[in-house]
Structure 1
Amino acid sequence: MPFALYMLGLAVFAQGTSEFMLSGLGPDIAADLDVSLSTASTLTSAFAVGMVIGAPVMAVLSRRWPRRTALLAFLVAFLLVHVVGALTTSFAVLLATRVVGALANAGFLAVALVTAVAMVEPHAKGRATSALLGGVTIACVAGVPGGALLGQFWGWRSAFWAVALVSLPAVLAILRSVPAGAPDAAVTGVRGELRSLREPRLGVTLLLGALVNGATFCTFTYLAPLITDVAGFREAWVPALLALFGVGSFLGVTLAGRFADRRPVPFLLGGAALLLAGWVLFAVTAANPVAAVALVLVQGALSFGVGSALITQVLYAATRAPTLAGGFATAALNVGAAIGPVGGGIALSAGLGHRSPLWVSALLVALALLVGAVALLSRRQAPSGNESRWSSPQVNSATQRRG
């Protein structure tokens, strides 16, 4: 893998840390800025909304820039808003920095996904995607617990400074190692790319990505009370188990990078079936500490393995949207990250107990399997002239070589 790809992954690590670290900093921010905890929690919601809106919008706006220019602009903006966030004493300003930071994050990830797959061979998109998204999983392992520790020892502002400092070497490396390239607007028209959303394979893959990621973040958001109130662990164990989930996610992304390019359909079907079984088993055995530890690791691996493979398939399927494919994938993931916690919260508010997010996760994956099965059945029954819509990446690449 090219060195520049790992530098993109470093930037994604900083952005993933920023996205998730507020889960442990909310009380300190609320106390320091004299707002309620519920008000402080809107910082997380603002970031999520900014990511959903920002991915396609920023991808469209940056099409007239060379990719290196777009990556640098988004990353520098992301760095600067964290400096402002670390310095401000106004909650309104901090909230604004979260929105702007999310827009910059979304734009960077959308362009980075397309840039990453352009750096490698046509059959290596899965490995490129896993190298990039490895930054998110490492953020779960080290960045989020690290941000919480910084907040405990030096205050919440230190976590914002840390994100800015980690972003700085990525800025320098991208400036030196990412090819300038030509503006994407010169490649294809935006209307044609947006029309590609009507293609069945792309639309279905985006929906599956949203559902699987929704299941992941449904449980991840409420993992702490599940660990303490159901499995019986002390609160001191929560950071370690969150980090264990991150270790599993890193293993899953790595595994997806090796196999998702070669046999995507068996990998996705088998992985999704195991993921569904794992959520059900977790819900049934959550009171057993040993089972809870094992399933935190396993479900982290399966969730991110299947999710990463689906992102790869979006990039393969978006043959008519080469410049907006990353925006489509990023938006789908963040739609899932938004609906999952809402579903878990509704279940908890209904008095269904701390296991209920696990059942909601299982329901979302079951729905994804149903949608995937219907799509496969439709592909098999489609007239021969339409089969290319659903053909595998290998078949598409072979067809392009022959052309």
Structure 2
Amino acid sequence: MAIVTQLNTPTSPAASAASDPGSAPTTGKAAAALLALSIGGFGIGLTEFVIAGLLTEVATDLEVTVSQAGRLVGGYALAVVPGAVAITPLLMRRPPKYALALLLAFFVVGNALSASAPNYEVMFAGRIVAALAHGGYFGIGAVLAAALVPAHRKASAVAALFAGLTVANVLGVPAGAFVGQQFGWRSVFWIIAGVGILALAGLIALVPRTRPEQNQLPLRQQFRALARPQVLTSLATTALVFGGMFGTFTYVEPLLRDVTGYSAPAVPWLLVLFGVGLLAGNLIGGRAADKHPDNAVLVLSILLPAVILGLGAVATMPLPTAVMLTLLGAIGFATVPGLQARVLRHATGAATLASATNIAAFNLGNTIGVSLAGAALAAGHGLRSPTVTGAALTLVGLALVVAARLATRRRNAPPR
């Protein structure tokens, strides 16, 4: 979903690779390779988001506050940025299969370190090591997925890669919360490390060796493309809009338990509702972005702060809270396709680096959102304060959306 815009351009490296009759595997082999890539996406999505359903357990075991435990989410998200911006360019010149294998090795080591961490500091280090794989895996993996199939199936191939990320949120996070409550949070990270090993084995056995991208701009010019004003504005919008949503979601587990009054066993089922909303939002947002990406981003950026504030307003009422949590997933993740499409549209000639950088922007926003929410909690403003900080961030993002829209209109207006 996130890289579909790139696949329709005539200069797409993936398109040129797939047009070579000898470069695309048969249908059965391509399906197996895409499954291996999707398993890696599932594991990476799970390791980022699962801790949101285990915040209380992690904080208790590591003897830190809930706010400090939340920084394990923000620290991961922040580490995605150098992983995407620095590591991805280094790996783009290598065969994608080998680049992804190296990234998955980082992922496995990081999660094993987290699972065995004797204290908070080691846990934090493990999160950072695992995060280094995130941006490059989806940036490079999307181009590789498209190169595995004929031209008319490229969008479906990329969707298969990102299906793992979606399934991680819809099913993996609630299941992880349940397993963590039954067998301890460390067991969840051992399972995630096992998923990484499975993905690595599948990558080695099932994914064919393909050439690196042949039609890339020189690396310096790619970074210049990222420095274009519209690209920078789009990246900032991504960080602010998504950061507001994620800052709210990170602390939703203690909100549900201590403010709304849900029991601990009910939390995984409520996270399923969030995941269902996420899935619906991905589908709706993708279709809207295909037709009118800028309008979709504008409308969703207006709705999102209203939903976040609504969640805080009804947090003492169980049923309305469940409804608003579902809407948070739907509206929050519906913004993703439009935000990705906007960045790629303005970063012509640097599609892979732009894809990875926009993923970094999502995670930088996560860091900002989690940090602001954690600061509000640490200052004693209560478990509903993350909804206020989250809404404030999304409103700043909305202001950027409006400013960029007005600038585009002025630039395209005929001279008087």
* TM-score normalised over the length of structure 2: 0.80
Identify the match of residue 179 of structure 2 among 150, 164, 167: 150
Return the alpha-carbon distance in structure 2 between the equivalents of residues 285 and 316 of structure 1: 39
Counterpart for residue 76 of structure 1: 105
State the Cα deviation string for residues 140-169 of structure 1 (Å, max 9, x = none): 332223233333444444323311332344
Identify the match of residue 36 of structure 1 among 63, 83, 87: 63
Whichever residue aligns with residue 222 of structure 1, its letter is Y
Contact 2:92 2:140 in 1 (8 A): no
Counterpart for residue 226 of structure 1: 255
Counterpart for residue 324 of structure 2: 295
Counterpart for residue 375 of structure 2: 346
Contact 2:277 2:328 in 1 (8 A): yes
Counterpart for residue 397 of structure 1: none
Q: Per-residue deviation at 1:130? A: 5.2
1:330 aligns with 2:362: no
Return the alpha-carbon distance in structure 2 between the equivalents of residues 123 and 194 of structure 1: 30
Counterpart for residue 128 of structure 2: 99
Matches within 5 A, 1:191-210: 191-210=220-239
Counterpart for residue 216 of structure 2: 187
Identify the match of residue 264 of structure 1 among 293, 316, 322: 293
Give the RMSD, CA atoms, in angstroms: 3.3
Return the alpha-carbon distance in structure 1 between the equivalents of residues 211 and 232 of structure 2: 28
Q: Per-residue deviation at 1:340? A: 0.4
Counterpart for residue 392 of structure 1: none
Q: 1:309–1:135: structure 2 CA closer, same or farther, 3 Å change rule?
A: farther
Identify the match of residue 63 of structure 1 among 70, 79, 92: 92
The farther-off stretch of 329-338 and 270-279 is: 270-279
1:250 aligns with 2:279: yes
SS at match of 2:92: helix
Identical pairs, percent: 36
Contact 2:294 2:342 in 1 (8 A): no
Q: 1:297–1:382: structure 2 CA closer, same or farther, 3 Å change rule?
A: same
Identify the match of residue 192 of structure 2 among 154, 160, 163: 163
Return the alpha-carbon distance in structure 2 between the equivalents of residues 100 and 110 of structure 1: 18
Counterpart for residue 278 of structure 1: 307
The farther-off stretch of 365-374 and 92-101 is: 92-101
State the Cα deviation string for residues 334-361 of structure 1 (Å, max 9, x = none): 1111000112223334444333222222
Contact 1:114 1:322 in 2 (8 A): no
Q: Per-residue deviation at 1:373? A: 1.2
SS at match of 1:260: helix
Contact 1:114 1:325 in 2 (8 A): no
Counterpart for residue 388 of structure 1: none
SS at match of 1:297: helix
Q: 1:126–1:69: structure 2 CA closer, same or farther, 3 Å change rule?
A: same
Return the alpha-carbon distance in structure 2 between the equivalents of residues 269 and 325 of structure 1: 21
Whichever residue aligns with residue 339 of structure 2, its letter is L
Q: Per-residue deviation at 1:237? A: 2.1
Q: 1:160–1:327: structure 2 CA closer, same or farther, 3 Å change rule?
A: same
Q: 1:65–1:91: structure 2 CA closer, same or farther, 3 Å change rule?
A: same
Q: Per-residue deviation at 1:53? A: 2.0
Contact 1:124 1:261 in 2 (8 A): no
Return the alpha-carbon distance in structure 1 between the equivalents of residues 202 and 277 of structure 2: 28
Return the alpha-carbon distance in structure 1 between the equivalents of residues 314 and 58 of structure 2: 36
Return the alpha-carbon distance in structure 1 between the equivalents of residues 187 and 120 of structure 2: 16
- Corresponding residue pairs, total: 383
Whichever residue aligns with residue 335 of structure 1, its letter is L
The farther-off stretch of 23-32 and 311-320 is: 23-32
The farther-off stretch of 373-382 and 310-319 is: 310-319
Whichever residue aligns with residue 246 of structure 1, its letter is G
* TM-score normalised over the length of structure 1: 0.82
Counterpart for residue 108 of structure 1: 137
Return the alpha-carbon distance in structure 2 between the equivalents of residues 7 and 274 of structure 1: 36
Q: 1:239–1:47: structure 2 CA closer, same or farther, 3 Å change rule?
A: same
State the Cα deviation string for residues 216-247 of structure 1 (Å, max 9, x = none): 11111121232234333333322221222122
1:49 aligns with 2:84: no
Whichever residue aligns with residue 63 of structure 2, its letter is S
SS at match of 1:261: helix
Matches within 5 A, 1:307-318: 307-318=336-347
Return the alpha-carbon distance in structure 1 between the equivalents of residues 37 and 291 of structure 2: 24
Counterpart for residue 394 of structure 1: none
Return the alpha-carbon distance in structure 2 between the equivalents of residues 147 and 103 of structure 1: 22
